[in-house]
Amino acid sequence: MEHRLDIRNRVNFTVRLRDASQSLGDFKVLNISEGGIGLEDSEGRLPEGDFVKVIFPHSVYSYQKDADGKTLMPEDCIMYGLVVHTTDGRAGLMWDSSEDDCIKLLPDDLIAA
């Protein structure tokens, strides 16, 4: 079963070309799941057919405390995806691997009912 997360209007994710440091910009997330991610792309910046790096900002993750009670700040998490379509100001990306560590780390309150 695929879980879909609804984090629109909460956070922007940064997208870069996969093998380069060039940023394509920050994009509002429309939806996200284990299978892929939908991003708002009204300017058509995401290149269809290209692999990209999606950076999940650490601000979307729950903070945890270590044994001494100090807050652990998680780092940004990275997943790779293929831009499979760009239509009507939206872009759909399919995750490039079966690893979904970034998604597993997202807090429960971001899971759509």
Q: Is 12 left (phi over 0), alpha (psi -120 to 50) or beta?
A: beta
pLDDT digits 0-9 by tens, 7-47: 444 556 777 776 767 788 888 888 877 788 888 899 888 88
Minimal CA–CA distance to 9: which of 41, 44, 40? 40
The yes-or-no verdict on residue 108 having pLDDT over 70 is no
Give me 2's structure tokens: 């695929």
Per-residue pLDDT tens over the stretch 93-106:
998 876 667 777 66
pLDDT at 9: 45
Q: Which domains does the chain have, with CATH numbers?
A: 4-63+72-101 (2.40.10.220)
Give the tens place of pLDDT for each residue, 54-84. 887 766 665 566 666 665 555 677 888 899 9
Q: What is the pTM of this model?
A: 0.70
pLDDT value at residue 4: 41
Cα-to-chain-centroid distance, residue 81? 9
Q: Cα torsion at 9, 64, 95, 90 (round to 10°)?
A: 10
